[in-house]
Chain A
Amino acid sequence: SYELTQPPSVSVSPGQTASITCSGDKLGDKYAFWYHQKPGQSPVLVIYEDIKRPSGIPERFSGSNSGNTATLTISGTQAMDEADYYCQAWDSSTVVFGGGTKLTVL
């Protein structure tokens, strides 16, 4: 079965750029999606089809996907961006999530 691997945690200082990676076999041949989830809340879609932002998602969120790695980049990270981030792909009629990355803004 297809697997997506994320680092368990990433730390960033306020105002700096945070990068969260998601690795999977030939992931660049698929679309990658990203969600964030704050404690006690439901997941929220922040990037779809590798690079697109849903309405209401700040421009500081961007995505890329090539080779075996998709990356979510948060420019000018704010304290409100502290959350768990999950990547997701679609493989063989199965939804696959990465294990999640806890982003700490300190």
Chain B
Amino acid sequence: EVQLVESGGGLVQPGGSLRLSCAASGFTFSSYWMSWVRQAPGKGLEWVANIKQDGSEKYYVDSVKGRFTISRDNAKNSLYLQMNSLRAEDTAVYYCARSHWGGPSYYYMDVWGKGTTVTVSS
């Protein structure tokens, strides 16, 4: 069974750091782009970052550039999101998603984890 399991969420103070992890199973992790998508309470989906199969390309939404870093360890079938200088507006459920890249034509997510909750508050 294809599965993604996020972990690492929690309560953190503004300015703090958190590292999210996503454990993949049931598919060849190293063959896929991967993404992080978040959803603030009561709000819509917002893409956060994505990473190429070998980690050589990474993209971020403007609001997290310079603060968040996406990475992966193909040997461990794991995806990560290092989040620094956290702000209240980063409060959200963070989803890990298996992704498909088609060059300039398309990019989409076909398998999603259940998410991990990040709360930034003093």
- Sort chain B's interface into a size bin: 20 to 34
B45–A97 CB distance below 8 A: yes
Among A64-106, those with CB < 8 Å from B are 84, 86, 88, 90, 93-100
A42 touching B45, Cβ below 8 Å: no
Q: Is the CB of B47 within 8 A of A97?
A: yes
Q: Tell me the bound Cα distance from A18 to B107 in angstroms.
A: 26
| In contact, A31 and B105 (Cβ under 8 angstroms) | yes
Contact B95 A35 (CB under 8 A): no
Q: Which interface class (under 10, 10 to 19, 20 to 34, 35 or more) fits A?
A: 20 to 34
Interface centre among B37, B100, B105, B107 (most CB of A within 10 A): B107
A42 pairs with B113, CB closer than 8 A: yes
Residues in chain A near residue B109, CB distance under 8 A: 35, 43, 45
The total number of A-B Cβ pairs within 8 Å is 60
Q: Is the CB of B114 within 8 A of A97?
A: no
Whether A33 contacts B108 by the Cβ 8 Å rule is yes
> B50 contacts the other chain (Cβ, under 8 Å)?
yes
A95: B residues at CB distance < 8 A: 35, 37, 47, 50, 107
The binding surface of chain B is classed by DSSP as strand
Please give me the residue from chain B that is nearest to A44 by CB atom: B112
B59-A86 in contact (CB<8A): no
Q: Quick one: given A30-B106, A93-B59, are A42 and B114 in contact (CB under 8 Å)?
A: yes
B contact residues around A94 at 8 Å (CB): 47, 59, 61
Which residues in B have their C-beta under 8 angstroms from that of A35?
45, 109
- Inside 8 A of B114's CB, which chain A residues have their CB? 42
- The closest CB in chain B to the CB of A49 belongs to B106
A-B contact pairs, 21 of them (CB 8 A): A1-B62, A30-B105, A30-B106, A31-B105, A31-B108, A33-B106, A42-B112, A42-B115, A43-B45, A43-B109, A45-B110, A88-B108, A90-B105, A93-B59, A94-B59, A94-B61, A95-B37, A95-B107, A96-B47, A97-B46, A98-B44
Apart from A44-B112, A97-B46, list 9 A-B contacts with CB within 8 A. A31-B108, A33-B108, A43-B37, A88-B45, A88-B108, A90-B107, A95-B47, A97-B45, A98-B44
